[in-house]
Amino acid sequence: MSDVKTLKQTRLLEGVKDYTPKEILRELRERPWRAGPYGKQNWGIWLHSIAPYVGRIKPAFAHWLIRICTRPKDIVLDPFCGIGTIPLEADLLGRRAIGLELNPYALVVSKAKFDRRPLNEEIRWLKDLRLDLDSVKLEEVSPYIRQFYHEQTLKEMFALKNEIIREHKIFLLGCLLGIAHGHRPQHLSAYTGYIVPYRKAKVPPKRYRAVIPRMIRKVRRMYTNPFPLKTEGEIIEADARAMPFKDESIDTVISSPPYYSTIDYVESNRLRLAILGFDDKMQKDLKEDLIQKDKTYLNEMKKVGQEIYRILKPESYCILVLGDFPKSKTSINTAEKVSELFSELGFETYGIIEDEIPTAKRTVLKWSGEDALKSMKTKLDRIVVMKVNK
């Protein structure tokens, strides 16, 4: 489907009449995020790739949800923004983007995407910086962190982190977390996973990796694609169960809420959270605060639904992307459960659209082989299109 055809069909031109549920459903069923360049794994500006996050929504998917379901200048809220994929795309599409997040690692990365300064300013600051390595006492760094790094690299990394925080340079902090660990030369650690910090059975030697040169290369990559330095977008540390907004102040909610007990958003980011200063106890407490337990998931999502109903303007849309919850030999259709829950709160569901999640074939083949690939079940995201009735 061409962009021009889609723009006409979804009433996205300035001054054209409002979109209807029927039009939204028709466009979503076309799945334009799979067509042409949008179907490529690396579609989107480099700023999306400042740092990884398990279970994040793809930029092309976010792009089309926003284009189809909102209008220019709308206030678009993502109450579970993760690393800010939806707010960033909303901002780039001329919407007033707001994201809420509680996970400190995801919060930093989201905020980093909206802390925009000229490239030469960021590079000059890094080049002129003189790191105070004596201020870093390695014995005060947890053994869990130390196992991944050469001592000199670790000193440089923590000295840089301290300067970044002192100068409140959130974009650079996001970049530092992005290269904090991984298995490629641009990363600072010994061999680890890029997203989840596992260790291989046979760990290569901890080679020294200079931090500042890698940071400069990382920053330059993030500016590969142009983006506006001025933005009205905002990322807020806040709980979706108690949103800091006035009644009926938001035009549209688009979000991919936490998966129903299938992803541990703390453990998956354990090393980067530790680098930010969150020890084991703090991470354990954080798990208790987040919505990710199967026994309490629906009760907590009901609180979220009540808040979304309160802050949305009358006749406004709430678009949620939800994954199924596998349970022994069956699975729970989270989209249907949440839809039923929200209907009790005053929402009307117009449709639930299935979107197959492609198997990461190369990864499966590399680690598990052809038999594992053949036995894998198709995974689905489901797009729930709802509207508030007020």
Q: Which residue has the tokens 């197959």?
A: 356
Q: Which residues pair with 322 in a beta bridge?
A: 382
CA nearest 386: which of 293, 292, 257? Answer: 257
Most confident of the ranges 47-61, 110-124, 286-300: 110-124
- Give me 287's structure tokens: 């798990």
**What is the chain's mean pLDDT, rounded?**
89
The Cα–Cα gap between 68 and 330 comes to 33
User: Do residues 85 and 33 both lie within one domain?
Assistant: yes
User: Do residues 71 and 166 both lie within one domain?
Assistant: no
Indicate the angle between helix axes 104-112 and 170-179, nearest 10 degrees. Answer: 120
Q: Which amino acid is at 38?
A: Y
In eight-state DSSP terms, residue 50 is: S
The Cα–Cα gap between 63 and 70 comes to 11
Q: Which residue has the tokens 């400069």?
A: 216
- In terms of pLDDT, which residue wins out, 328 or 359? 328
203 lies in some domain: yes
User: Do residues 287 and 360 both lie within one domain?
Assistant: yes
User: Do residues 241 and 384 both lie within one domain?
Assistant: yes
- Give me 35's structure tokens: 């067509």
The Cα–Cα gap between 264 and 258 comes to 9
Spatial contact of 186 and 202, defined as CB atoms under 8 Å apart: no
pLDDT for residue 331: 78
CA nearest 106: which of 50, 147, 53? Answer: 53
User: Do residues 190 and 93 both lie within one domain?
Assistant: no
User: Do residues 238 and 344 both lie within one domain?
Assistant: yes
User: Do residues 22 and 125 both lie within one domain?
Assistant: no
pLDDT for residue 326: 72
Residue 83 pLDDT exceeds 80: yes
User: Do residues 28 and 93 both lie within one domain?
Assistant: yes
Own/partner pairs, 244-247, CB within 8 angstroms, 24+ separation: 245/77, 245/311, 246/311, 247/310, 247/311
pLDDT confidence band for 374 (50 / 70 / 90) = very low
CA nearest 53: which of 233, 259, 204, 325? Answer: 259
Number of domains in the chain: 2
User: Do residues 123 and 200 both lie within one domain?
Assistant: yes
In eight-state DSSP terms, residue 277 is: T
- In terms of pLDDT, which residue wins out, 54 or 169? 169
pLDDT for residue 375: 41
CA nearest 355: which of 330, 387, 325, 323? Answer: 323
The Cα–Cα gap between 345 and 303 comes to 10
**Could you list the residue range(s) of the whole structural domain that residue 378 is in?**
3-102+232-264+280-388
> What whole-number percentage of the chain has pLDDT above 70?
86
271 lies in some domain: no
Spatial contact of 386 and 322, defined as CB atoms under 8 Å apart: no
User: Do residues 93 and 239 both lie within one domain?
Assistant: yes
Q: Where residue 19 sits, what CATH number does that domain have?
A: 3.40.50.150
The Cα–Cα gap between 257 and 254 comes to 9
User: Do residues 254 and 366 both lie within one domain?
Assistant: yes
- The 10s digit of each residue's pLDDT in 194-236 is 888 876 656 667 899 999 999 999 999 999 999 999 999 999 9
CA nearest 257: which of 296, 301, 195, 226? Answer: 301
Mean pLDDT of 112-129: 98
Q: Which residues pair with 331 in a beta bridge?
A: 326
Write out the DSSP string of 29-54. Answer: HT-GGGSGGGGSTT-S-GGGGSS--T
User: Do residues 378 and 238 both lie within one domain?
Assistant: yes
87 lies in some domain: yes
Q: Which amino acid is at 274?
A: A
Q: Which amino acid is at 290?
A: L
